[in-house]
Amino acid sequence: MSSPSTSAAEVVDVIGVGAGFSGLYLAHRLTTAGWTFAGFEAGPSVGGTWFWNTYPGARCDVESIYYSYSFDDALQQEWTWSERFAPQAEILSYINHVADRFDLRKYFTLNTRVVGATWNAADRLWEVRLDNGETRRSRYLISGAGGLSTPKDFDVPGLANFTGLQVSTSRWNIALDDLAGKRVAVIGTGSSGVQAIPLIAEVADELTVFQRTPNYVMPARNSELPPEQIQCIKDDYPAIREECRHSLGGIPERPVADKAFDVSDEERQRRYEEAYKRSGFNGVGAEFVDLLTDAEANRTASEFIHNKIREIVKDPATAELLVPKYHPMGAKRSCFGTDYYETFNRPNVSLVSLRDEPIETMTANAIVTSKGTYGVDAVVLAIGFDAFTGPLYGLNITGASGKKLQDAWHNGVRTYLGLMTADFPNFFMVGGPQSPALASNVVMTIEQAVDWIADLIEHARDSGATLVEATAEGQNDWVDITEETVAGTLYATTDSWYRGSNVEGKPNTFLGYVGGVGKYRRMCTEIAKRGYPGVEIDGEAQSRNLGPIHKEIS
Ligand code: FAD
Ligand code: NAP
């Protein structure tokens, strides 16, 4: 078996990028099927997201019993999660455990970034350039570079003037205690800011939160997992996983059939109260079927949360600033926090609304808004990611016609199933744009993607083929399907990283498929059964288009 240390002249079957959940499962699945594999990871460790995002409070918000690999029953039987939502360190230990248990470290070269890849049509190989100056060659190139692994540029005006402590949640490199006794600013109130703010408030002398867009923050309701519950899950794990695989979001669903206005106002309120107690992705936002498709229905859920905020936050002016009135609930990623709104009742915490007073600049020791100057000793940036395309464009990949991916997608992302893209033969994306990765239990989506890719290249190998590529027609069909699927939802009406609107100049296209993890899986399986319509294998294409298949699949 080849290892990443093989000589540059040797051709490896597959080069994989990244050593997070995607890269590790790729290495396991493909080497088990007899492929040679070399993985490259820019960071010094396996773990991906869970290696980089070590900010205080970081933890998953999809329950750990689901947000974990399902491919090996012995693994899920022997690993025991301590909490409903495991903290970052525990998820990182789990990923390390998987790397050791399946002996995967030998396939990866750490501290090595892929900085370029060019398709060599004559030899049907990828020539992959590394930041150590070396070039490696492979039949297939598979990105497991993640959707949320490229931090957004620090686009806060005047940040370079600031001489105090500066740290970002996605590259956290200080101890929480380093913020003790300091005047701290947190900029950004997405999921990362929401998790970090309550813990920073406990140590900071003063904390000022700079909020641009208020979010819907539901109580995480984290708790220890009692041994009886763990045993129950383990006894039933295969069935639970199967349910997740055929669900909407990769977690077990509560069967809900009625619409918000099918019930009386009192009944609706009662149900929201129950859902609020339950929380999680099966909470208020999932209580009625039409909450993401009907703005009026959504308003009832949104207002329920608005009122919760007004109940929790004692100062009415602060409460009003925290009320998310600019978008419907769930139309951008919901956040789950522990004591998030309660934190604004602390005497050392204050809130600045950047909608009312934008940041004009920063000085050596202050943030200057249009209305005032806020002296600070430390700035925490929780400003998010250049989602999906950031990591892929970082590969600097050049396709068959000599075009770079960023040029091919200049007007917006175009993929086949979120897994392949036309003109980039033998290149695959795990958890890519226009796949369900945007709005699902991502580990489940990753496993499905890796399995499908592995099956396709095995199918090609079995027939002696060495070239697989998405056809332009197949890709057009998939783009239409993703757009039609999102068009009837409130995601289509809301600016967020889901649509690329958090990054200046990024084309505004929806970056996911929201027809459901289960439907997507069944569609991918059907495509494989029918001989891969939309894919050209050694120049042979199945002409059938995807639209009818998508309609046939429930
Ligand atoms: P990543 O974990 O991002 O790993 C990609 C790896 O590729 C990184 O280590 C990176 O260094 C490396 N890489 C990138 N480019 C290159 C290159 N050019 N060369 C070499 N290496 C490269 N999802 C959920 O479903 N549930 C959650 O609760 C959840 N919580 C999250 C919390 C945070 C703080 C964040 C940021 C994301 C969260 N996500 C969650 C999404 C999460 O990113 C995925 O669940 C999952 O971890 C992605 O795994 P991955 O291996 O595909 O990518
Ligand atoms: P995010 O959701 O994109 O939030 C970034 C925040 O920073 C937003 O409030 C944004 O405001 C603000 N912001 C960005 N640029 C700014 C600027 N120049 N000036 C002022 N404010 C600015 O990023 P994130 O919080 O890192 O989360 C990203 C995704 O990672 C999540 O949606 C989720 O999928 C995942 N995640 C999950 C968890 C979890 O709980 N498991 C935790 C962290 C992250 P606007 O909204 O106005 O742009």
Are 341 and 322 a contacting pair, CB within 8 Å?
A: yes
- The sign one gets for the Cα dihedral 505, 394, 167, 326 is positive
Q: Which is the closest atom of ligand 2 to the Cα of 157?
A: 18
Residue-wise pLDDT tens digits, 500-515? 999 999 999 999 999 9
pTM (whole model) above 0.85: yes
In the predicted structure, residue 5 carries a pLDDT above the cut 70: no
Q: Which is the closest atom of ligand 2 to the Cα of 502?
A: 48
Would you say the CB of residue 192 lies under 6 angstroms from ligand 1?
yes
Adjacency order of strands within the sheet including 366-369: 359-363, 366-369, 373-375
Average pLDDT over residues 464-468: 96
CA of 431 to the centre of ligand 1 (A): 9
Amino acid 522: pLDDT: 97
Average pLDDT over residues 338-361: 98
CA of 189 to the centre of ligand 2 (A): 6
CA of 391 to the centre of ligand 1 (A): 10
Q: Tokens standing for 536?
A: 């050209």
Are 508 and 500 a contacting pair, CB within 8 Å?
A: yes
- Kindly identify the ligand whose nearest atom is closest to the C-alpha of 388: 1
Residue 411, exposed/middle/buried by CB under 10 A (0-12, 13-18, 19+)?
Answer: exposed
Residue-wise pLDDT tens digits, 472-495? 999 999 999 999 999 999 999 899
What is d(CA 342, CA 180) in angstroms, rounded to the nearest whole number?
20
Residue-wise pLDDT tens digits, 104-117? 999 999 999 999 99
In the predicted structure, residue 2 carries a pLDDT above the cut 70: no
From the CB of residue 211, how many other CB atoms can be counted at a distance below 10 Å? 19
Confidence of residue 3 (pLDDT cuts 50, 70, 90): very low
In sequence order, the 6+-apart residues with CB closer than 8 A to the CB of 298 are 260, 290, 291, 292, 328, 329, 330, 331, 490
Residue with tokens 């175009």: 414
In the predicted structure, residue 309 carries a pLDDT above the cut 50: yes
Which residues pair with residue 335 across a beta bridge? Answer: 217
What is d(CA 261, CA 347) in angstroms, rounded to the nearest whole number?
41
Q: Tokens standing for 250?
A: 């990769």
Q: Are strands 217-219 and 165-168 parallel, antiparallel or unpaired?
A: unpaired
CA of 281 to the centre of ligand 2 (A): 18
CA of 276 to the centre of ligand 2 (A): 23
What is d(CA 315, CA 318) in angstroms, rounded to the nearest whole number?
5
| Element at 208 (helix H, strand E) | strand 206-211
Q: Which is the closest atom of ligand 1 to the Cα of 146?
A: 53
Which residues does a 6 A CB cutoff place in the pocket of ligand 2? 60-61, 148, 155-156, 187-193, 195, 212-213, 333, 336, 354, 382-385, 497, 502
Would you say the CB of residue 387 lies under 6 angstroms from ligand 1?
no
Atom 15, ligand 2: residue with shortest CA distance: 383
Q: Which is the closest atom of ligand 1 to the Cα of 431?
A: 52
Residue-wise pLDDT tens digits, 257-305? 999 999 999 999 999 999 999 989 999 999 999 999 999 999 999 999 9
What is d(CA 449, CA 442) in angstroms, rounded to the nearest whole number?
10
Residue-wise pLDDT tens digits, 382-434? 999 999 999 999 999 999 999 999 999 999 999 999 999 999 999 999 999 99
Are 114 and 128 a contacting pair, CB within 8 Å?
A: yes
Q: Which is the closest atom of ligand 2 to the Cα of 354?
A: 20
Residue 266's alpha-carbon distances to 73, 224, 261, in angstroms, are 45, 33, 11
Adjacency order of strands within the sheet including 349-353: 165-168, 378-381, 183-187, 206-211, 349-353
- What does the mean pLDDT of the chain come to? 96
What is d(CA 185, CA 376) in angstroms, rounded to the nearest whole number?
6
CA of 507 to the centre of ligand 2 (A): 18
Are 470 and 514 a contacting pair, CB within 8 Å?
A: no
CA of 503 to the centre of ligand 2 (A): 11
Give percent of the chain with pLDDT exceeding 90: 93
Q: Tokens standing for 159?
A: 């940040």
In the predicted structure, residue 549 carries a pLDDT above the cut 90: no
Counting ligand 1 atoms within 8 A of each CB, the residue from 26, 29, 46, 49 with the most, and so the one to mutate, is 49
Helices (H), 246-323: 265-278, 295-312, 316-322
